[in-house]
Homo-oligomer: A and B are copies of this chain.
């Protein structure tokens, strides 16, 4: 039947002998079409396999029943989150659209760009993952997961980064470590700032001084951390343990250590943060602070859907979930 290109509403209309307006009404279940017509049109729709163009209908109706997830790139953190989001969305009748705009790693501002490109038409609401700047949305409801600025005027979902970081460092201290390094995220990320803060508090609580030369910014990506890690591990007085701000850089730390001939955990202990599945794939398995990533995704959907239904009444929600230390094999007592 359908010969070239996509089937459009006009094709259905012609075939069914009605106007496009009528087809539109039928397709959208609007009132005021005779049962006979509805049936005929639906038959043709099925026949031709017609499906409305998301772009076109959204342009006009500003209601698409599609939820958007905006992210810088599809890496372990955001894909884990997506699993939770996907599961939760499956219980609603929304469709799900994940968008990664701009070039990988996204120059700053990807969240604004993406929001502008999709918002106001394609998606009814959006979940932005790890945004560094949140514009209170672009006319559409937005919830931020693990945002830059920490709780603000836009609803957020995150985990208890401070307590999580403390538990990780306490674990190292408990094993006997004194010379502990922190491979920090970036100052402009709230989660990273809190993890560093947790590191410092745990150290202070144990009466340990922080050697500032061992607190270095590695970002959240392997590439950005590489040079810093090498330097840290080849330095004269290298640390006996490293607390990395996330799993990706922790895993990279282990890789660099191996390359340098250091055994983990015998020569160097490593702790990460996130508990992405990849952290269990390393050898030895990475001890890390688990964030309930799936749950965070589910909660974000919950908050967003509620916003969509009830509107933004009152204070924005700020959901904070607990973290938990997952002990694997990457930590041991320090070498003597």
Contacts and interface: CB of A to CB of B under 8 A. Distances in A.
A132 to B, nearest CB: 15
A97 interface: yes
A82 interface: yes
A100 B79 contact: no
Contacts of A50: 116
B97 A99 contact: yes
A107 to B, nearest CB: 12
Interface stretch (A187-195, A277-285, A309-317): A277-285
Contact of A82 (B74, B101, B113, B117): B74
A336 interface: no
A105 interface: yes
Given A55-B59, A96-B74, A278-B277, A90 B104 contact: yes
Contact of A54 (B56, B105, B122, B139): B122
A98 interface: yes
A249 interface: no
Interface string A83-126: 10111011101011111111111000000110011111110000
Contacts of A139: 4-6
B104 A95 contact: no
Contact of A93 (B53, B97, B99, B103): B103
A100 B95 contact: yes
A51 interface: yes
A52 B103 contact: no
A58 interface: yes
Given A54-B55, A102-B95, A6 B119 contact: yes
Interface string A42-64: 00000001111111101100000
B117 A52 contact: yes
Contacts of A74: 79, 82-83, 85-86, 96, 98
Contact of A95 (B59, B95, B99, B120): B99
A116 B6 contact: yes
Nearest to A99: B97
Contacts of A119: 6
A75 interface: yes
Interface string A1-32: 00011110000000000000000000000000
A103 B96 CA distance: 10
19 contacts: A5-B120, A6-B138, A51-B117, A52-B117, A53-B116, A54-B117, A55-B56, A55-B122, A56-B59, A73-B90, A74-B83, A74-B86, A79-B83, A89-B104, A95-B102, A97-B100, A98-B99, A122-B122, A277-B280
Interface of A: 4-7, 49-56, 58-59, 73-76, 79-80, 82-83, 85-87, 89-91, 93, 95-105, 112-113, 116-122, 138-139, 276-278, 280-281
| In the A-B complex, the 4 residue pairs with the closest CB atoms | A90-B104, A277-B277, A51-B116, A74-B86
